[in-house]
Amino acid sequence: MSSFWSIWITVLTIVVIVGCFVLLRIVSKNNTGVEEGKSMGHSFDGIEELNNPLPKWWSYLFYVTIVFGVIYLALYPGLGNFKGFLGWSSANQSIGTENGIAADSKAAVELATKEGRWVQYDQEVKRADEKFGPIFKAYAETPLDELVKNEEALKVGGRLFLHNCSQCHGSDARGSKGFPNLTDGDWLYGGELATIKTSIMNGRHGMMPPKGGLPIEDSEIKGLAEYVTKLAGRDHDEALAAQGQGSFMKGCFACHGMDATGNKMMGAPNLTNNIWLYGGSRGSIEQSIKNGRSGVMPAWKDVLGEEKVHVITAYVYSLSNK
């Protein structure tokens, strides 16, 4: 964190704490000029306001929370770059090989604890790797076409999916606008096991430029959207769709194909199956044509590693191949 933001956070935090203390002191005193217990001269719906002080227990409890906050911020990180007098850290950032002691050894943990340093996060990760590492290694050594038949592996893949993928694709993997449904068997880049793994490992960047980058006028967009509607097998205006077909032949087929069934090499969607990533209403289709679309799926190889991606791949494949 930069010095500016460290100072900003520190000052702001201290001001808030001091402000709470001052405010509490002010409201604890009778500054109204009205004797305690007497009427303030306000009434509504038969309820009269009296000049009653704050309950003592409430005031004392608030003082306790202020004192607790000050002590906590003195001992633990919370004031910008100040690490606290205990030197606690959720990660093993300050421990290396010291005095010949390896950072991941039990002795290193004891040394860190003795010196007031903690390595909670790294040690939890280490224990998890020791426990689950052999399991993931065994799964990674199993070919994907066999792994999809392993119910225990699919359960593990499902849990990994919920923790890492459901934020975009949903807990049921049915996606939402702009995020693909993984259960319908429709794949922009292909639904083969190897292809799915490549998509998860390396990510994807799909992009349709406005008007497909073609010399299509705004006046043609409505007809083109009507032609796309016709391709999907929906009710349409035949005359308007015929006009749109001419616009389509200006070059839309270069990505979507002459038969409009898409191109998995480019991630160009099939326009004939009535499955829509950004919505299938005429308004949504017109918006897609006019403004284009851009979607990014991040790469997970550096976040999860290939072993876990291997298991998630089997799970994702199973969603549409049960």
Please report the pLDDT score of residue 111 as a whole number. Answer: 55
Which residues are known binding-site members for heme c? 165, 168-169, 208, 252, 255-256, 297
DSSP-based three-state secondary structure for 48: strand
- Helix then strand then coil, in percent of the chain rounded to 5, is 50, 10, 40
75 or 112: which leads in pLDDT:
75
pLDDT of residue 100 exceeding 50, the answer is no
Mean pLDDT of 261-288: 95
> Between 3.40.50.300, 1.20.810.10, 1.10.760.10, 1.10.10.410, what CATH number should domain 206-297 receive?
1.10.760.10
151 or 44: which leads in pLDDT:
151
Please report the pLDDT score of residue 307 as a whole number. Answer: 96
Total-model pTM: 0.67
Give the confidence band of 28 by pLDDT, cuts at 50, 70, 90: confident
Q: Out of 36-50, 157-171, 198-212, pick the least confident.
A: 36-50
CATH 1.20.120.1200 matches 139-203+299-320: no
Mutual angle of helices 193-202 and 306-319, in 10-degree steps: 130
Query: Are the C-beta atoms of residues 290 and 211 closer than 8 Å to each other?
Result: yes
Tokens 């009205």 sit on residue: 34
Please report, rounded to a whole number, the percentage of residues in the chain having pLDDT higher than 90: 71
Rounded CA gap, 295 and 207, in Å?
Answer: 6
Please report the pLDDT score of residue 108 as a whole number. Answer: 56
Rounded CA gap, 317 and 322, in Å?
Answer: 9
Q: E strands along the chain, which residues?
A: 39-44, 47-50, 204-208, 293-297
Please report the pLDDT score of residue 154 as a whole number. Answer: 97
Name residues whose C-beta falls within 8 Å of residue 87's C-beta, 6 or more positions apart in sequence: 94, 115, 116, 117, 118
Q: Out of 104-113, 165-174, 211-220, pick the least confident.
A: 104-113
Tokens 């049960």 sit on residue: 322
Which residues are known binding-site members? 165, 168-169, 208, 252, 255-256, 297
Please report the pLDDT score of residue 110 as a whole number. Answer: 58
Mean pLDDT of 5-32: 91
For the chain, the average pLDDT equals: 89
